[in-house]
Amino acid sequence: MKMTKYLRSAVLLISSLLLLNIFTLSASAEINNNLIPPGEKLEVIYNQGTHLEGPAVAPDGQVYFCDLTPSSLAKGALLGGHIMKYDPKTKKITVFRSPSGQADGLAFDSAGRLIAAEAADYGGRRITATDLGTGKAIILAAEFDGRPLNSPNDVVADNTGRIYFTDPRYFGKEAMNQAVQGVYRIDRDGKIRLIIGNAGKPNGIALSPDQKTLYIDSNDNGLFDYRSSTAGLATRRGFDGILAYDLLEDGTAKFREIIYQSPGFRPDGMRIDSDGNIFVANYDPSHPGILVLSPKGEEKGYIQTPETVTNCEFGIGAENDVLFITGNKALYKIVTTHHGEKKAYQ
């Protein structure tokens, strides 16, 4: 019995050391991994943001991104957010819309319309579509079952014109009107359907290139409003990780598996490259950057950033190997060895 006890202890010790070595190898091998061509560096395009989010590239190659202005960070007047625009040709940054309704996530649909997920905190709490030709916008979704949405966060459009969005709550003192922090689908006929109600606190959303997998990441900070974190209350994080759902032809999502979770990983927005790899922003101040995963959730590399980042987006055309990254304060760009997937409007 004593020998068995000692053997068991030795096995446990060896197992612990092996796990430590695996973690160390993963940490040391995570940087670059051939993601960035030799000599390429992260470039700052804009650095005057309050809380940047949701980059999306238009059919003409211009990059739209959000600047959230939470009231908890307000110094004077409430601003209600901005949608900014970057022109890669002229290098100019301009204001596209202000206030933006606290637009958080952006995407372009198959018709080339700018789809915006507008959050709470004096925001629209809705999904809108803007015709870039006329500048006019329509409201696609603002309620479900007769009650306002919680706080739309991120959005993606498929090739058929259906739109999917997440509806958690991270900030804002408005009432929580939906029973779950869910994932919704807007059909071509305008009907809104709750398709996922058990994905933790859904944040980022993305589609695989073949449109058969819907990726949702949960970033559950244990808060419905940042003000709670200053009230002396203890909080407990919920589930942080990326989930994969089989997306059926009728738009129904069927849970398949959790493809990635790890200590120190707090996923935010994500994008997919042409090979189906997942580029996901890690909103963890201790290790900020873009984590790159295979479709099966295997680590392929990491792009470190100087500040916490929220989302990313590939360019199109000659710049489809350029990754645009939004941080809290800055918009970055970097040339990669990967290429963005085909857009819904292409």
Question: Tens digits of per-residue pLDDT, 155-164?
Answer: 999 999 999 9
Amino acid at 157: A
**Could you tell me the two tokens for 150?**
């919680």
pLDDT at 3 over 70: no
The pLDDT assigned to 225 comes to 74
Between 101 and 12, residue with greater pLDDT: 101
Contact 209, 342 (CB under 8 A): yes
Angle (CA) 305-116-181 rounded to 5° is 85
Contact 302, 33 (CB under 8 A): yes
Query: What are the b/e assignments for 234-249, b being 16+ CB within 10 Å?
Result: eeeeeebbbbbbebee
What residues pair up with 263 in beta bridges, in sequence order?
none
Alpha-carbon span 130 to 259, nearest angstrom: 34
pLDDT tens for 197-225 read: 999 999 999 999 999 999 999 999 888 87
Write the DSSP symbol of residue 31: B
Contact 105, 153 (CB under 8 A): yes
Which helix (H) or strand (E) segment holds residue 194: the answer is: strand 192-196
Q: Please give the mean pLDDT across all residues of the chain.
A: 88
Strand blocks (E) in 248-304: 253-260, 267-272, 278-282, 289-293, 299-304
What residues pair up with 186 in beta bridges, in sequence order?
163, 192
Query: What are the b/e assignments for 173-186, b being 16+ CB within 10 Å?
Result: eeebebeebbbbbb
Model confidence, pTM:
0.89
Alpha-carbon span 123 to 102, nearest angstrom: 5
The pLDDT assigned to 2 comes to 36
pLDDT tens for 240-274 read: 999 999 999 999 999 999 999 999 899 999 999 99
**Could you tell me the two tokens for 217?**
């990441």
pLDDT at 304 over 80: yes
